[in-house]
Structure 1
């Protein structure tokens, strides 16, 4: 990749690695993000998602690999463009607002550092605050604002210089659940309304699936799967991805002459791979409630939560000892089903598996 290339990609990272001594933090990261799209970096703490964001921002330099922003090489062999030259905005987890400055003063700070004149600076600050709905609070102290309002100030500061790309590092994690859900919708509308290209780091699946055009599920310094939210939900690449996204229960099944079995239950022929054992993702859509006496798979209701369209019911499967051939956990395995009516805790239910709605994975 040359120092300047034509590209329709806002961000292109190729074979990125980052080592701290002998410890490898990132391993072979490849990402290409088109202009105007949002990429969510999703994963548990320590998976490398914030480290990858910092590489894009220029706060870290890769050990190997290249990063280009709108076709301009900003990191690679003998090339490193500092953060202030990358035309990026950034929104941090802790907002990073200066308590001694007003709201307007906080938003104006990057423009002052860039040497923008006072009249233009004031006009751009007013426009940025208006975009996030805080124009009337320009003279207030950040400490006088709610958590959601402080986050909007941080966003206004990130967009005031009209950057090509905005990076978000878990920006809503300090807010309570209800406010976070409201802010996700507002933030998504703002990103789309401004036509921004964004990278959004989060450990929250619902945030990633709501906001992003693409989601990179990260695990141990690698991208386990990069896909649209719809593709991730319908076709997770591995059992580990499915479990992290909480798409349903992943069960280890073993095959015998009668078909598949799990924890002492003969489930019959369900399709799947031609192997002695396999993992299978069973979502609520893959289960149908039937009469207990007619069911090969039975269990006990542990919990029932009301949702907009009915009840989400947790069922602990019946089973004695673990199936030694498949190495299953046996007793204690739970699945989720949907129900139009509320089921009683402790009630026994029969379940039928719908083979065409299963997602199979090779057994490790």
Structure 2
């Protein structure tokens, strides 16, 4: 973002407390116009609460929210949702059962007292954008889950907001439909030039949709980065585990470097400033090359196998002569359970972390 550009949405030291319980613990975010930010994390991490504070459905205990450089929540200031100029799409769609598809989409405009001819034009355009213009007269109950979600999206964009908030909008859909919808939604957000905040617990959704992902952990942003940067440079072992980036292996300092704890397996590539006697190393699938057993220094046994994203992902128990080390390997060639394979570790692709309590964010 250029130095003079103002973020479309920003928060500064945003906090929310319920009594003595801290829900959000000081959130600082800047979202440039035209970009999508995904709030990613497990249930209870604070992502939906943060979205509701931006929407105006909750008031913060401290800090402020700015939308296009206007303070909408802060000390002595609180603008209700209808004055923030936002579109919102919820997990449960929130469609009126007694209104038609067109009636649901028209509702925000009727609340703004927009003229009838303008309402008809905008509703028709919004339904065309989501591919439902032919269902304008239907009842929402007659639609599939994916069609109902499209109605909710049309209603969110009909007033032509510059910013749209999404609260796990695809979580009620089955997996195949969800995978199709996330691509469509990403294209729609881009084609309309929207700024979006998207709450999800699904990593694939976040990485498909977002320009930047905020991984949340117990009311804080643990790391904020582009999807590729999160994969290449996770900020902690906890984040690496949550994102399922590979195997986290405990390490112990040895006389000539570092060895896998409980084994004699040495690994190169530890950072020179690694302190202490223990550490953790992330071994992602891309750091492992499969070889014939007779050609490799390391061998492992395939313990599980599944097909994902046009490749085979194998769980391999590395045979070290002591405790087995579980790893994951990606290959284009099928393997058999119990098969012994050779492995080569590419040390430059390892990611080292200081020893820490390794719990999921």
Q: Report TM bin, short chain.
A: over 0.9
> Does the alignment pair 1:173 with 2:205?
no
Structure 1 counterpart SS, 2:8? strand
> Does the alignment pair 1:352 with 2:344?
yes
Where does residue 283 of structure 1 map in the other structure? 284
Q: Give distance in 2, aligned partners of 1:82 and 1:340.
A: 53
Q: Give distance in 1, aligned partners of 2:7 and 2:152.
A: 26
Q: Give distance in 1, aligned partners of 2:303 and 2:145.
A: 36
Q: Give distance in 1, aligned partners of 2:344 and 2:94.
A: 52
- 1:128-139 to structure 2, matched below 5 A, reads 128-139=126-137
Bigger Cα displacement from structure 2, 104-113 vs 275-284: 275-284
Q: Give distance in 2, aligned partners of 1:285 and 1:267.
A: 19
1:226, distance to aligned residue in structure 2 (A): 0.3
Find 1:238's aligned residue among 217, 236, 241: 236
Where does residue 301 of structure 1 map in the other structure? 302
Q: Give distance in 2, aligned partners of 1:291 and 1:257.
A: 31
Residues 267 and 297 in structure 1, CA contact (< 8 A), matched pair in contact too = no
Find 1:22's aligned residue among 13, 20, 23: 20
Where does residue 335 of structure 2 map in the other structure? 343
Q: Give distance in 2, aligned partners of 1:351 and 1:196.
A: 46
Q: Deviations over 1:203-261 (max 9, x none)?
A: 00000000001100001000000011111111110111111111111111112114322
- 1:102-113 to structure 2, matched below 5 A, reads 102-113=100-111
Q: Give distance in 2, aligned partners of 1:250 and 1:261.
A: 13
Where does residue 324 of structure 1 map in the other structure? none
Listed as ranges, the gaps of 5+ residues in structure 1 are 1-5, 322-329
Q: Give distance in 2, aligned partners of 1:243 and 1:93.
A: 26
Residues 126 and 157 in structure 2, CA contact (< 8 A), matched pair in contact too = yes
Quickly say closer, same or farther: Cα 1:317–1:238, change in 2 above 3 A: same
1:300, distance to aligned residue in structure 2 (A): 1.9
- 1:183-262 to structure 2, matched below 5 A, reads 183-262=181-260
1:296, distance to aligned residue in structure 2 (A): 5.4
Structure 1 counterpart SS, 2:11? strand
When normalised by structure 2's length, the TM-score is 0.93
1:308, distance to aligned residue in structure 2 (A): 5.2
Q: Deviations over 1:133-176 (max 9, x none)?
A: 11110000111111111000000000111112100000000001
Q: Give distance in 1, aligned partners of 2:147 and 2:18.
A: 37
Residues 265 and 296 in structure 1, CA contact (< 8 A), matched pair in contact too = no
Find 1:361's aligned residue among 329, 350, 353: 353
Residues 13 and 27 in structure 2, CA contact (< 8 A), matched pair in contact too = yes
Q: Deviations over 1:169-196 (max 9, x none)?
A: 0000000110000000000000000000
Listed as ranges, the gaps of 5+ residues in structure 2 are 357-361
Q: Give distance in 1, aligned partners of 2:305 and 2:123.
A: 49
Residues 260 and 267 in structure 2, CA contact (< 8 A), matched pair in contact too = no
Q: Deviations over 1:52-78 (max 9, x none)?
A: 000000000111101100010001111
When normalised by structure 1's length, the TM-score is 0.92
Residues 91 and 167 in structure 1, CA contact (< 8 A), matched pair in contact too = yes
1:335, distance to aligned residue in structure 2 (A): 1.4
1:269, distance to aligned residue in structure 2 (A): 4.7
1:121, distance to aligned residue in structure 2 (A): 1.1
Where does residue 359 of structure 2 map in the other structure? none
State the Cα RMSD in Å.
1.7
Structure 2 counterpart SS, 1:218? strand
